[in-house]
């Protein structure tokens, strides 16, 4: 199968970027983060893209970054938290899964996400009431995260290294020619 060895999805604070780097190190490959790809393409931080160009422009850049990474990157890929809401991205992740790819939903509860995200940072979709906004985002996104994923890991009480170990164990316990199990909980 050509494409990423694993794709990580989940909300802000779930540890996607950190876990991607650690998992990539365990697998002897590289990690890639589509949020970083978007910032590089736009030449500015995501918060500025939202302010200067609007969320629709950001989502278009994000979609392009995800589609490119799914075809170009062969390491561990971390997607931005809202990337899975795009229908084209959902379709591309479906094709990736059908080809044997693993999409990991890194889940986290609000109580554990709050100190990780630090709700005072520049996250455009969490402005105003960050905790309430995060909760609303998760209510809308959780079903989609479950739908697009093949593996579900609750990160609340785990350190990033433990999450990477759990994913690594799941990836390496499946023989290349055998079908992958699709646990969700």
If one counts the domains in the chain, the total is 1
Question: Does residue 10 form part of some domain?
Answer: yes
Q: Is residue 179 part of a domain?
A: no
What is the DSSP annotation of 23-81?
Answer: HHHHHTS-EEEHHHHHHHHHTS-HHHHHHHH-HHHHHHHHHHHHHHHHHH--SEEE--T
In a domain, residue 46? The reply is yes
- Please give the residue that has the higher pLDDT: either 151 or 179: 151
Domain range spanning residue 60? 6-172
Residue 123: inside a domain: yes
Q: Report if residue 163 sits inside a domain.
A: yes
Q: Which residues of 30-60 are buried (b: 16+ CB within 10 A; e: fewer)?
A: ebbbbbebbbeebeeebeebbeeeeeeebbe
Q: What is the pLDDT of residue 130?
A: 60
> Could you give the dihedral angle defined by the CA atoms of residues 105, 109, 115 and 116, in that order, rounded to the nearest 10 degrees?
0
The pLDDT value recorded for residue 175 is: 45
- The lowest-confidence range among 111-115, 144-148, 161-165 is 111-115
pLDDT of 120 strictly over 50:
no
Q: Is residue 183 one of the residues assigned to a domain?
A: no
Strand 151-154 to 31-33 pairing: unpaired
**CATH number, domain with residue 121:** 3.40.50.300
Q: Are strands 31-33 and 6-9 parallel, antiparallel or unpaired?
A: unpaired
Does residue 50 fall inside a structural domain?
Answer: yes
* CA nearest to 82, candidates 130, 16, 153: 16
Backbone φ and ψ for 64, nearest 5 degrees, come out as: -60, -40
In a domain, 108, yes or no: yes
């Amino acid at each position: 199968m050509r494409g990423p060895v694993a794709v990580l999805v989940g909300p802000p604070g779930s540890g996607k970027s950190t876990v991607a780097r650690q998992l990539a190190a365990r697998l002897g490959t590289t990690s890639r983060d589509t949020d970083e790809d978007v910032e590089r393409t736009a030449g500015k931080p995501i918060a500025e893209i939202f302010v200067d160009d609007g969320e629709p422009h950001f989502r278009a850049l994000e979609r392009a970054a995800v589609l490119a990474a799914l075809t170009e990157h062969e390491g561990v890929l971390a997607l931005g938290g809202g990337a899975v809401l795009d229908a084209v991205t959902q379709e591309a992740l479906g094709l990736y899964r059908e080809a044997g790819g693993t999409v990991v939903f890194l889940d986290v509860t609000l109580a554990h996400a709050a100190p990780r995200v630090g709700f005072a940072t520049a996250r455009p979709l969490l402005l105003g009431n960050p905790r309430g906004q995060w909760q609303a985002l998760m209510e809308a996104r959780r079903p989609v995260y479950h739908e697009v994923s093949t593996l579900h890991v609750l990160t609340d009480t785990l350190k990033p290294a433990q999450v990477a170990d759990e994913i690594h164990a799941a990836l390496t316990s499946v023989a290349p020619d055998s079908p992958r199990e699709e646990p969700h909980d």
